Amino acid sequence: MSSPPPVSTATAEATAVRDGRSSSERYRGLIWLVSASFFMQALDSTIVNTAVPAIANALGETPLNMRSALTSYVLTLAILIPASPWLCDRFGTRRVFAVAISVFAIGSLLCGISQTLPELVMARVLQGCGGAALMPVGRYVLVRTIDKREFVQVMSTVATFGLLGSVLGPLLGGALVEYTNWRLIFLLNVPVGIVGLWLNLREMPEYRLTRPNRFDLLGFVLFAASSALLLGASECAADQNIRWAWMGSLVVMAIVFGGTYVWHSRRIDHPVADLVLLRVRSVWVALSGNLLTRLGVSGMFLLIVLFLQVGCGWSPLMAGLMMVPQALGSITAKWFVNRTLVRLGYRRLLFGNTLIVAVLLALFALLGPHTPMLLTALLVYVYGGFMGMQYTVMNTLIYTDLDVKYASMASSMASTTQYLSMSFGIALATILMQTLLHGQGSGAYVVAFRWTVIVLALITAVASRVFARLEKAPIAVPSSP
């Protein structure tokens, strides 16, 4: 059966004019579908953190050993996101989105019935395979369908649902763990997925190319292998009986695969990640600064939850409630980011804001079991506000000096870097915590947490030096490969 013809933006606008409705009104069901997918992925990214101690206890693991269940999901997102544009061009947006929802729901079901940590990790990888396409495909379809005059407003609505998922995730995770069972955290995605499939069949337009570019399968495999091997090496580093030869072998193989990809990407027309864009100063500063910053901050969500539950004896619900101020702070920052950026510019804002984030990270070392709850909430709120500022500005920096024809590739590279650095950031934070943990009591967790956040603060401070490079040398837009 042939696919329905794609509905272009121009067609959508013309149809809207004929029936007197705006494109946002005509495609309200599509907006709800994409918003729900953003909400589901944001919820799933934050809801698990609060439940880590309970899941670890149920599976007979220590809380810090649960890092693989978190990093495997995020790393899968990083690896598979670059394939999303080609999959849409080859198989069509409706089919790809339906498969993504189905795989995500099946992965969630398997997570909910997992009996061991390896089973949970494999289920999280499957969940990530579906989640990797949800946001890129949803954003792509909205760009193609919604009138440009309404696009910003629509994306703001969609982003709000994502933020709502981030706010509700920790609280819902804590409530489910405390009053029901941690397995419901994953099983709730199954009925949501069924509703999503129904909406996808009714509302999702079909976009595909008759002759899509050839997919860079070799480059994709090389990149995936290098990333997975590096994460595997970090897992070896966390082992109490480190096998140095095995860990060294993984690092060497990762470097070989990564170097081979660099060589390969220069020899083809459509690489999975176009490294030519790194000739633009703002691009490589955005990617490297993003990588370093997230390496320092990505594990903080998990560390704070472990600190509050294991170190301070808080309930899962109270620990989840304490994460809400971070999301609220991030929402508050969005009211000021545009005016602040216009006034200070990218270089000064990112340099100064990154240092402030590093100082706030170090201030977490002052917290303890007897710290007033209001003071802890205030620090979490302020930290969330400056992190919201950081994320927003970092995510837009990469596009400032690029021609629009490079926007799709830049977006893919930025998303990949974001999730890749998140996976390594979580791994680094838990490895530091485990290395600095001496003993099993709550006091030992508090001491390990304090030293860990100090180290992470120093790493984050280094990122400010990367953003300081924005002032040097004129920016040159790269020519086509």
- Residue 225: count other Cβ atoms within 10 Å of its Cβ: 18
Residues 309 and 330 placed together within one structural domain of the fold: yes
pLDDT at residue 235, as a whole number? 67
In a domain, 189, yes or no: yes
Domain at 83, CATH number: 1.20.1250.20
- Total tally of structural domains belonging to the chain: 3
27 occurs within a structural domain: yes
For residues 396 and 286, the answer to whether their CB atoms sit within 8 Å is no
Sign of CA pseudo-dihedral 178, 182, 184, 185: positive
Q: Encoding tokens for residue 251?
A: 């690092």
Task: Quote the CA–CA distance of 297 and 428 in Å, as a whole number.
Answer: 10
* Domain limits for position 54: 7-212
- Point out the domain boundary residue: 196, 212, 228: 212
Furthest CA-CA distance within the chain:
71
**Are both 195 and 252 inside the same structural domain?**
no
Is residue 314 included in any domain, yes or no?
yes
29 and 134 in a common domain = yes
In a domain, 480, yes or no: no
Element (H, E) at 412: helix 407-436
Query: What is the reported pLDDT for 375?
Result: 92
Residues 16 and 78 both lie in one domain: yes
Domain-located, residue 479: no
Which of these, 436, 439, 438, 464, lies nearest to 452 by C-alpha position?
436
> Considering 176, 192, 212, which residue would you say is the last residue of a domain?
212
Is there a single domain that holds both residue 306 and residue 170?
A: no
Helix (H) or strand (E) holding 287: helix 281-297
Q: pLDDT value at position 56?
A: 87
Element (H, E) at 375: helix 373-397
Alpha carbons 251 and 260: distance in angstroms, whole number: 14
* Nearest Cα to Cα of residue 131 among 168, 71, 173, 76: 76
Residues 147 and 223 in one domain: no
pLDDT per residue as tens, the chain (481 positions): 333 334 444 444 444 444 556 666 677 788 888 888 878 777 777 778 788 888 888 888 888 778 788 878 888 887 888 788 788 878 888 889 899 999 999 999 999 999 998 999 999 999 988 888 887 788 778 777 777 667 666 776 777 777 777 777 878 888 888 888 889 888 888 888 888 888 888 888 888 777 767 788 888 888 888 888 887 777 666 565 666 677 788 888 888 988 898 898 888 877 877 777 778 787 888 888 888 898 888 888 888 888 888 888 888 888 888 888 887 888 888 788 778 888 888 888 999 999 999 999 999 999 988 889 999 999 999 998 898 888 878 877 877 777 666 766 777 777 778 878 888 888 888 888 888 887 777 788 888 999 999 999 999 999 998 888 886 433 444 443 3
The DSSP output letter for 135 is H
Residue 254 lies in a domain: yes
Task: Tell me, yes or no, whether 185 and 239 share the same domain.
Answer: no
Q: What is the DSSP letter of 311?
A: I
Return d(Cα 356, Cα 179) in angstroms, integer.
Answer: 38
Joined together, the tokens standing for residue 428 give: 């680094």
Claim to verify: residue 311 and residue 230 sit in the same structural domain: no
Nearest Cα neighbor of 103 from 193, 195, 192 is 193
Alpha helices in 92-216 (DSSP H): 93-112, 117-145, 148-179, 184-187, 189-203
How far does the chain reach from its first CA to its final CA, in angstroms? Answer: 37
Residues 257 and 202 in one domain: no
pLDDT score at 19? 54
CA distances from 418 to 60, 348, 442 (A): 31, 22, 33
CB 156 within 8 A of CB 331: no
pLDDT for res 405:
65
Residue 51 located in a structural domain? yes
Specify whether the CB–CB gap between 41 and 193 falls below 8 A. no
Contact 228, 79 (CB under 8 A): yes
Task: Pick left, alpha or beta for residue 457 (phi over 0 → left; psi -120 to 50 → alpha; otherwise beta).
Answer: alpha
Taking the C-alpha atoms of residue 422 and residue 1, their distance in angstroms, rounded to an integer, is: 41
d(CA 312, CA 72): 28
Whole-number Å distance between alpha carbons of 321 and 46: 12
Domain boundary (226, 246, 271) is at 271
| 76 lies in the same domain as 97 | yes
Looking at residue 134, its pLDDT comes to 83
207 lies in the same domain as 234: no
Integer Cα distance of 292 and 294 in angstroms = 6
Alpha carbons 55 and 49: distance in angstroms, whole number: 10
Give residue 407's pLDDT. 66
- DSSP symbol at 312: T
Task: Answer yes or no: are the C-beta atoms of 213 and 270 closer than 8 Å.
Answer: yes
Question: 26 and 170: one domain?
Answer: yes
Residue pointed to by tokens 């216009």? 342
Supply the pTM of this predicted model: 0.77
Count of other CB atoms within 10 angstroms of residue 398: 25
